[in-house]
């Protein structure tokens, strides 16, 4: 499945069953790939972290919502296994990594500001 950028209702019924594998991912950062589900602000995407990959320290300029679909995502506050819902409100700062690798569904109101 290719990236979806249309501003019309979308339906994804198999994400929890590995349906994310059908999406086309592209390079986002070293070891992290992205499949865009909705472009713009707000944006929605899937992020696929290779084992040991991460995203450097950044500040949220709007609410970010993450649902871990597979694997474990981590930040300075802890480890979040599959099924975890993470809310990062505007103004929060952290870095993100995944030791075993993971797939997350991410929604953001505004882009993050990288601090490094």
What pLDDT score was predicted for residue 93? Answer: 96
Residues facing 114 on adjacent strands: 58
pLDDT of residue 62 exceeding 70:
yes
What pLDDT score was predicted for residue 2? Answer: 46
User: Across residues 37-57, what is the average pLDDT?
Assistant: 94
Half-sphere exposure at residue 71, Cβ-oriented, CA atoms within 13 angstroms? 19
Could you tell me the domains of the chain?
15-114 (2.60.120.10)
* pLDDT tens track for 67-87: 999 999 999 999 999 999 999
Q: Check residue 36 and give left, alpha or beta (phi > 0: left; psi -120 to 50: alpha).
A: beta
Contacts by 24-33 with C-beta closer than 8 Å and gap 24+?
29/53, 29/55
Length of the chain equals 116
CA 81 to chain centroid, in Å, comes to 14
What pLDDT score was predicted for residue 9? Answer: 82
């Amino acid at each position: 499945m290719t990236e979806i950028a249309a501003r019309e209702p979308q339906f994804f019924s198999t994400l929890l069953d590995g349906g994310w594998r059908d999406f086309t991912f592209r390079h986002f950062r070293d070891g992290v790939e992205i499949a865009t589900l909705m472009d713009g602000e707000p944006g929605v995407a899937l992020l696929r972290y290779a084992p040991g990959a991460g995203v450097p320290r950044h500040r949220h300029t709007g609410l970010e919502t993450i649902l871990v679909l597979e694997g474990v995502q981590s930040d300075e506050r802890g480890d979040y296994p599959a099924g975890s819902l993470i809310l990062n409100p505007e103004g929060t700062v952290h870095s993100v990594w995944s030791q075993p690798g993971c797939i997350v569904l991410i929604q953001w109101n505004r882009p993050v500001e990288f601090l490094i």
